[in-house]
Amino acid sequence: MNIPIRFERVRRQVSDNTSVVTIYVVLMAMIIVAASLSETFRTTGNIFNVLRQVVVLGLISIGQTFVILAGGIDLSVGSTVKLVTVLSAGLLDGREALTIPVVGFCLLLGALIGLVNGLIITRLRVAPFIVTLGMFSILRGAALAYTTEPIGDITEPVEFLYNGQIGRVPFAVIFFLGLMGIGVFVLRMTPFGRHIYAVGDNEQVARLSGIPVNRVKVTVFVISGMFAALAGLFTVSRMGIGDPIVGEGFELDSITAVVLGGTSLFGGVGGLTGTLAGVLVLGMVNNMLNLLKVSQWYQQLVKGLIIIIAVAIYKQKD
């Protein structure tokens, strides 16, 4: 007798989360197609490789999701990754005793960048797009002023971040999924998470309801800055040196992943469950095109078409 009731609950859950369900359907379809086109794709090594490669974008996208849900946008994340990558490698320079101080400094730097973004937006009432675009240029300039060529060296603990394994599973994947789970819990189960959705949905109503709107806005930018800094540490772990060419395009890729996962650019709708699928879709696109040996010149075209088609599909479901 409970079966119809349970079925109705499932139907409502699917109906309320159409965009998320759709992007996961797209992801599954891509996996099936890739597996049929390439035997290499089906190997355990390649699957773990794909998951490890999306960690950097995934970390940035977690922070970007918090910001966009609150009605903002953060264009400074790519430059934060660039600055942290060169600074961490340059400061460490292979000296293991400095690992904890440098890692702590980089995370605090990311938080400080987010704090400055948030305070300018809330205190001076400047649009997030303008503030973070300006910060994008400042941080990029600072990174290139520090070095215009590869610099420094990393230590074994930092190298473990991206290249280490626990059993057969990359540590980076476990770490990323753990943070993703914490983020989902915060957004769904805590007052702070509910405040984020309320601010993104209607800032004036949220303020009249007693929600500290400015504090929420500043906090989500601090979170975004810290996740971008963390992504920078994973980037330098992957590369082994501080290369100033890294970080380009992460701001747009993270926004794409978040929106692809069903989060509204206007705020108040979406979540990290969809963002995870968006990140995986972008990672799958890159992996499939590389395995099929598609020319780099055509990869941007194919990626753009897939993104537009995927977004159009779930928008029709809204």
* Domain housing 40: 18-317
- pLDDT per residue as tens digits for the range 167-210: 889 999 999 999 999 999 999 999 999 999 999 999 999 999 99
- Report percent pLDDT > 90 for the chain: 65
Is the residue at 7 inside a domain?
Answer: no
Helices (H), the chain: 3-16, 18-37, 44-53, 55-69, 77-92, 99-123, 128-146, 156-163, 171-189, 191-201, 203-208, 213-239, 250-260, 272-291, 296-317
Identify the CATH number of the domain in which residue 62 sits.
1.10.3470
> Is residue 13 a part of any domain in this protein?
no
Amino acid found at 117: N
pLDDT tens per residue across span 124-153: 999 999 999 999 999 999 999 999 999 999
pLDDT of residue 1: 46
Is 12 inside any structural domain?
A: no
11 found inside a domain:
no
What band does 311 get if pLDDT is binned at 50, 70 and 90? Answer: low
Confidence category of residue 239, pLDDT binned at 50, 70, 90:
very high
Q: Is residue 247 part of a domain?
A: yes
Give the tens place of pLDDT for each residue, 27-85.
Answer: 898 888 888 877 777 788 888 888 999 999 999 999 999 999 999 999 999 999 999 99
Domain total in the chain = 1
- Residue 280: inside a domain: yes
